[in-house]
Every structure is written in structure tokens, then in C-alpha cells.
Structure 1
Amino acid sequence: MAHIDLGVDEKEFPGVRGPMQYRPETAGPLNALAEALLRSEPHPLSRGERELLAAYVSGLNECQFCSTSHSAFAAAQLEAGWDLVDQVHADLDSAPVSAKMKALLRIAGAVQAGGRTVTTALITAAREEGATDLELHDTVLIAAAFCMFNRYVDGLGTFAPEGRALYDEHAKVIIAQGYVRPDARRPGPAAAAEG
């Protein structure tokens, strides 16, 4: 049970979805940020690769809901699916991703540990593998944003379903509709207090 009354059935609105229903005034900008970072096109990184960055950081933060959600979203958009995502979580060094992607994931991991742990050496290594300024910028921002999302979800003690089935189903919705959807705009407590 969440630390506060979110006003929704937590099993129907697990993880970040409950707090976003509770406070749509903040949900809008947060969903817009996720949309811009993870789905905007054109972009040199695929949507699956950007979701993998979010999943990787969420895994390092041990945020079950975000890690499993974004792992499912990545798996649904990467040719190698869950096998690849699981390998990245288990051992980045031996995972079958490009050298550039490994370098970007290492930068994301450094951001998760603390922004100042992103070194010139990490950036240089990514550049040597072909990373662009946009890819470097967005990797850092995805990692930083998901540290925030992970703390939002876990700081409110939200419900995280077990297994992968629900997350795989939700991946279909995200892929088809994105993060900014009309169903996330229910009046929250601030609107009710004004009314």
C-alpha cells in the first residue's frame, strides 16, 4: 500500500501511474519529458535503445516497477527482446550491444552513482565509439530523469506487480500511444480543493 492515499486502485494504477493520477498537474510535464526523451523522432538512438538506458538506470536503483516497465518497453522494441535486456542487466561487459551503446550505458550508470562520476574518460570513450553530442546529452538526461522517477515511485511506496505479463501488456500501449495520453488527465486533489 502506498504511503499516501492516491485515490485509485493501486493494482489498476501501479507504480508511477498511481501518483500521476493523484497529481495530474505534475503528471503532464513528467509524461512530456518521458515522451521527449524516449520517443521523439528523429533521433540517432532507437526508441528501444533509449528505453534500455532508462531500464538500466532503474535496475541500478533497484526500482522494481520502473526497471521492469522500461525493460519491457525496451524488449518490445529491440530485435533481441528480453534476452538482450536481461543480458545487459546481468553483465553489461558481455552483453551483445554495440560498443557505443555499452559506452552510453556506462555513462548512464555513472550518472546513477552521481553526476560528478561522469568523467572525461567516459565521454571520450563514447565519442570514440561514435556517440554524438545529442546522444551524450540525452543519455545523461535520461539517467538523471530516471533517478528522479525511481525515487518518486519508491519514495511513495507504490505497488509494483510481480512477473512480466502486465508490463509486457503495458508496453503495447506505450508503443502505440506514447507517454502523453488523455487518460492520464483526471482532476487531482489540487483541482478538487479549488472546486
Structure 2
Amino acid sequence: MAHIELNNDAPGILGLMHYRPETAGPLNALAEVLLRGDSTLTRGERELIAAYVSNRNECRFCERSHAAFAAAQLDEGMTLVDQVRADLDSAPVSAKMRALLHIAGAVQRSGRDVTDKHIAAARDAGATDVEIHDTVLIAAAFCMYNRYVDGLAATTPDDPAMYEAVAENLIKTGYQRLT
């Protein structure tokens, strides 16, 4: 049960967005740009960054949501998402993606944990400055989203089918249509 009365039954961040639509607009606009806007990183890769950070933050709603969103947009599906969550260093991702996920993990701990070594590894693996920028911003934004959801104790369903259904809708309509 949420810490506040939301006056709706929507799960996770969806319930919070229905409660305060005036804050939902900017939050969804940010997610739309970061996760679905023009980028040299695929939508699946960007969702994987969101899922990875949410997993590290132990935000079950966001982790499950973005894992489903990533899986639906990656050829390797949930198998790859699970491998990244279990052990990033042995997961079958590109060197560039691994380096970007390491940056995201550093941001999750503290923005100051991102080092010149992280950046050099990403560049050596072929990451552009825009990809590094967007990885840092996705990670930082998901720390905020995760704390928003967990700070208000939003409902977290256990049924994977619910997250898969939302993923199908999201892929078709985007974040701005979630509320």
C-alpha cells in the first residue's frame, strides 16, 4: 500500500503519474527523449541501462518494467537482460555496452564515482560523447524515478505478464501516452 492515498489502482509510477498529472508530463517527456528519442544506442540498449540501474537500486517496479521493455526490444530478449543483471562482466554484450553499463553503475552509486578510467574505457570501446552523456543522464534519471516509486511505496505487481503487456503498449505509443 502506498504511503499516500493515490485515488487510483494503477501500479508503480503509473499510479503516481495519475495522482499528479502535472508532474507526469515532464517526467514522461524526459523518459521519451532519453529512451526513445534519436540515438546511436538502440531503444533496447537504453532500456537495458534503465533496468540495470533500477536493479542496482533495488526498485522492483522499475527493474521489472524496464527489464520487460528492454527484453521486448532486444533480439536476445529477457535472457540477455537476466545475464546482465546477474553478472555484467560475463554477460554477452558488446565491449561498448559493458563500458557504458559500468558508467551507469558508477552513477548509481554516486556521480562522483565516474572516473576518467570509466570514460576512457567507453571511448576505447567506441562510445561517443553523446552516448556517454546519455548513459549518465539515463542512470541519474532512473535513480530519481526509482526513489520516487519506492519513496512513496507505490504498488509493485509480481505478475511478469503485467510488465510484458505494458511493454507492448509502450513500444507502440511511447512514454507520453502512459498516463
Q: Secondary structure at the match of 2:175?
A: coil
CA deviations on 1:83-113 (whole Å, 9 max, x unpaired) are 0000000000110000000000000000000
Structure 2 residue identity aligned to 1:177? T
Once structures 1 and 2 are overlaid, which stretch shifts more, 159-168 or 134-143? 159-168
Task: Give the TM-score of the pair, scaled to structure 1.
Answer: 0.91
CA deviations on 1:102-125 (whole Å, 9 max, x unpaired) are 000000000000000000000000
Task: Flag structure 2 segments of 5+ consecutive residues without an equivalent.
Answer: none
CA RMSD for the aligned pairs?
0.7
For 1:5, the equivalent position in structure 2 comes to 5
For 1:161, the equivalent position in structure 2 comes to 157
Instruction: Name the count of aligned residue pairs.
Output: 179
Residue 39 of structure 2 corresponds to residue 22 of structure 1: no
Q: CA deviation at 1:7?
A: 1.0
State the alpha-carbon separation in 2 of the partners of residues 74 and 137 from structure 1: 20
Q: CA deviation at 1:164?
A: 1.2
1:174 paired residue among 167, 170, 173:
170
Q: Which has the higher helix share?
A: 2
State the alpha-carbon separation in 2 of the partners of residues 163 and 101 from structure 1: 29
Q: CA deviation at 1:61?
A: 0.2
Structure 2 residue identity aligned to 1:149? Y
Residue 26 of structure 2 corresponds to residue 32 of structure 1: no
Task: Flag structure 1 segments of 5+ consecutive residues without an equivalent.
Answer: 185-195
For 2:72, the equivalent position in structure 1 comes to 76
CA deviations on 1:26-69 (whole Å, 9 max, x unpaired) are 0000000000000002x110000000000000000000000000
For 1:192, the equivalent position in structure 2 comes to none
